[in-house]
Copies of this chain bind each other. A is one copy, B any other.
């Protein structure tokens, strides 16, 4: 079940709202759109579509290597993080895996497609959904071939740091970390495992570009790993050219676009401060400190349900994510992402009206 904060076409149909009028707080996508620099680069180089992409993606891997400060030979590029997740799991072929949960549903789908037994390690509400490392490590035994972690985690926004990640790496056969949201964290250097790849042969880090760079349409993801056995296996089986020429061009440009990267980080940082402050004023609401660009909230005192809140807001063209369908959550939980100052203010105002 794929759900990126609700399919806008379905919302359009069910609620009779033109798609372009929806203020989408559900998709976790950078609200800045694309930079003028990127737009110009694409328009000036449209002829890339008339040639095959470089099948070794040398320039793209160099750009990623610089951006992530990692060895370009440790990089695999693919058609969105989705292809990277799929390639890694297919070629590792784990028999037993642990998914830290609730999390993104794609890990489960892919593991099931590969006939893997899945154990869920539950993030506890009582722990504010923070990962209990000791407890996790106690669950790891010889039979577990893979631990799957989204860091920061979707939908909780919680993250563990590199010291904690090392504790897991020292105990497990393989750890896959999906860092789709890591660049939104104000302490990203402490939680990005890319710096550990050189030291750990059992680590596979996955990155997307859809959320942070705001380009889900281009389908560009990458994996970083030192393990030659798994890299060779993936390279042998992967389709060539799964990143198309436009995505290749965009990647090469945007990983170097420091102005856009800084602007995004500043926007998220400042708006997060504002939103935390305002949410603190709503007594019927609990929110979880996030390391990402989205915030998980819980409605208290049965003031309303996530579904009713969703219905109330969509009538005003505001789309949030009803989080009741995530495993281990219920209809008290909803999630929204950080958009522009203006839109964030609007949402806060509406939430206050409904919940205060």
Partner-B contacts on A (CB < 8 A): 2, 4, 7-9, 29, 33-34, 39, 42-43, 46-55, 79-80, 82-83, 86, 113, 210, 214-219, 236-237, 239-242, 244-247, 250
Contacts and interface: CB of A to CB of B under 8 A. Distances in A.
B79 A50 contact: no
Contacts of A86: 239
23 contacts: A2-B55, A2-B240, A4-B52, A7-B55, A29-B50, A42-B46, A48-B217, A49-B215, A49-B216, A50-B217, A53-B217, A79-B241, A80-B239, A80-B241, A82-B239, A82-B240, A82-B241, A113-B236, A217-B246, A218-B246, A219-B242, A244-B244, A244-B246
A216 B83 contact: no
Nearest to A249: B217
Nearest to A29: B50
A217 B50 CA distance: 6
A216 B34 CA distance: 25
Contacts of A240: 2, 82
Contact of A49 (B8, B48, B53, B217): B217
Given A2-B55, A49-B250, A219 B237 contact: no
Given A239-B86, A246-B244, A217 B51 contact: yes
Contact of A50 (B54, B214, B244): B214
B217 A9 contact: no
B29 A216 contact: no
Contacts of A236: 113
A148 to B, nearest CB: 17
A247 B79 CA distance: 13
Contact of A51 (B48, B216, B242): B216
Nearest to A85: B239
Nearest to A2: B240
A35 B65 CA distance: 36
A241 B79 CA distance: 8
Contacts of A82: 239-241
A156 to B, nearest CB: 23
Contacts of A215: 49-50
Contacts of A219: 53, 241-242, 244
Contacts of A43: 43, 46
A48 B214 CA distance: 11
Nearest to A241: B219
Contact of A216 (B42, B52, B237): B52
7 closest A-B pairs (Cβ-Cβ)? A217-B245, A49-B217, A219-B244, A52-B216, A246-B246, A49-B215, A82-B239
B55 A34 contact: no
B54 A9 contact: yes
Given A51-B216, A218-B246, 17 more contacts: A2-B55, A4-B52, A9-B54, A33-B47, A39-B46, A42-B46, A43-B43, A49-B218, A49-B246, A50-B216, A52-B210, A79-B79, A82-B240, A83-B239, A113-B237, A219-B242, A244-B244
A327 B319 CA distance: 58
Contacts of A237: 113
A52 B217 contact: yes
